[in-house]
Amino acid sequence: MKKIECLAMILAGGQGSRLGCLTKKIAKPAVPFGGKYRIIDFPLSNCANSGIETVGVLTQYRPLELHTYLGTGETWNLDRKNGGMFILPPYAREKGADWYKGTADAIYQNINFVENYDPEYVLILSGDHIYTMDYSWMLEEHKMNKADATIGVIRVPQKEASRFGIMTTDERGKILAFDEKPKQPKSDLASMGIYIFNWKLLKHYLEEDSIDSSSSHDFGKNIIPKMLDNKVRLYSYSFDGYWKDVGTIESLWEANMDLLKDTPSFDLGSAWRVYSATPSLPPHFIGPHAKIKNSLISSGAVIEGTVENSVIFSGVKVGANSKIINSVIMPFSRIAENVLIDKAIIAQNCEIMTNSKIMSNDGSVIVIAENEIITPINNGKKQVG
């Protein structure tokens, strides 16, 4: 196999339990986003655009739809003879089969795959973040610092800091301390779950970690703290663009709404293309009485009612006299007539019957699971929540 400088591994095998019913049937990286994308489109497009041509995608939980979507990697120009995209589910070996126990274990179980390419560096990514980023700049900085490992970092609001790996650095970006999801965060500098490691060193740490029965085999909880203890050269790489971890219902809804802001904090129309495999559908149709404001409407959608501040995916139907506000309606869901939906995420292929009302009474985001049929209860006055 041809030796390559940098190989990427995308972690896409978590349970995604915090997305509740949205990940009951599909893996989190396959969840639809932004009118025509799936979450995994972002790291895959970033790899292709950054010139990283060999990418392993580690899958495990509910992988069927994700595998079908990934196909040969053609969508992201990653179907190649040398390198390309490889789907890496857990597999049985001589000593039996094991699920991926944690993020580090998932890479450990694929050491042979990585070794095939004998890379100098390995870029580890998460399959559940929305951002566009040129990884080649991060690699340059990693080399300039003569680092052993570099972690992508971004400043987050202090009140959200305990959801992330939080670090402190010196003025040159050298990491001095790292706490995974601390109850009392000491800074607002959060790990973006993007790591570059010198492969030989990482391999050593993964092998050591694999025989440590007290470890949960996780990068943030085990590998990074161990490296810091051992005075390994760990650097941060600061990113100041748009980045969002969409691992919770609220953050997934917010990231969709961010696309509708006046001065979009995140511009999907920029030269840095995000590729996605979307079905071939006719243009969207806006009926004679429809009213649409500040919304994204995808191909194949048919709008007869009112849509405001919402993201409408391919093939969605919105009936006459229905009103969709501040909501995300995923592919092929059908909203009948005289329906009110406010601050909700409606998953794929749902049917919302005439006179239904979907809105929360406490300001939280309401979610309707894939393939659900919602009928009005109490003559359309009862709220679903």
Residues belonging to the binding site for alpha-D-glucose 1-phosphate are: 100, 165, 180-181, 191
Q: Which stretch binds ligand ATP (CB under 6 A): 99-107, 264-272, 294-302, 352-360?
A: 99-107
| Residues 312/324, Cβ–Cβ less than 8 Å | yes
| Residues 86/57, Cβ–Cβ less than 8 Å | yes
Binding to ligand ATP by CB under 6 A, coded x per residue (else -) over 143-172, reads ------------------------------
> Which is closer to ligand ATP, CB of 54 or CB of 126?
126
Distance CA 310, CA 276 (A): 20
- SS3 at position 217: coil
Binding to ligand ATP by CB under 6 A, coded x per residue (else -) over 317-356, reads ----------------------------------------
Which tokens belong to 17? 């339990």
Which DSSP helix (H) or strand (E) runs through 352? strand 351-352
Least spacing, CB of residue 99 vs ligand ATP, in Å: 7
> Which is closer to ligand ATP, CB of 40 or CB of 384?
40
Q: Which stretch binds ligand ATP (CB under 6 A): 10-18, 261-269, 309-317, 373-381?
A: 10-18
60: contact with ligand ATP by CB under 6 A: yes
- Residue 224, judged by CB atoms within 10 A of its CB (0-12, 13-18, 19+), counts as buried
Least spacing, CB of residue 123 vs ligand ATP, in Å: 14
Least spacing, CB of residue 143 vs ligand ATP, in Å: 26
Which tokens belong to 330? 């995923």
> Which is closer to ligand ATP, CB of 58 or CB of 328?
58
Which DSSP helix (H) or strand (E) runs through 32? strand 32-33
> Which is closer to ligand ATP, CB of 34 or CB of 305?
34
Which tokens belong to 193? 């779950």
Please identify which residue in 44, 58, 88, 330 interacts with ligand ATP, judged by CB under 6 A: 58
Which DSSP helix (H) or strand (E) runs through 86? strand 84-88
DSSP state string for 187-216: -SEEEEEEEEEEHHHHHHHHHHHHT-TT--
- Residue 89, judged by CB atoms within 10 A of its CB (0-12, 13-18, 19+), counts as middle
- Residue count of the chain: 385
Please identify which residue in 17, 82, 238, 375 interacts with ligand ATP, judged by CB under 6 A: 17
Provide the annotated binding site. 100, 165, 180-181, 191
103: contact with ligand ATP by CB under 6 A: yes
Number of H helices, E strands in the chain: 8, 29
Which DSSP helix (H) or strand (E) runs through 340? strand 340-342
Please identify which residue in 35, 63, 247, 376 interacts with ligand ATP, judged by CB under 6 A: 247
> Which is closer to ligand ATP, CB of 128 or CB of 179?
128
Distance CA 64, CA 59 (A): 10
Distance CA 358, CA 374 (A): 9
Least spacing, CB of residue 58 vs ligand ATP, in Å: 4
> Which is closer to ligand ATP, CB of 48 or CB of 130?
130
Please identify which residue in 7, 11, 202, 374 interacts with ligand ATP, judged by CB under 6 A: 11
Binding to ligand ATP by CB under 6 A, coded x per residue (else -) over 106-135, reads x-------------------xxx-------
14: contact with ligand ATP by CB under 6 A: yes
Give the single-character DSSP code of 96: B
| Residues 279/301, Cβ–Cβ less than 8 Å | no
Which tokens belong to 346? 């409606």
> Which is closer to ligand ATP, CB of 139 or CB of 194?
194
Contacts with ligand ATP, residue ranges (CB under 6 A): 11-18, 28, 58, 60, 100, 102-103, 106, 126-128, 247
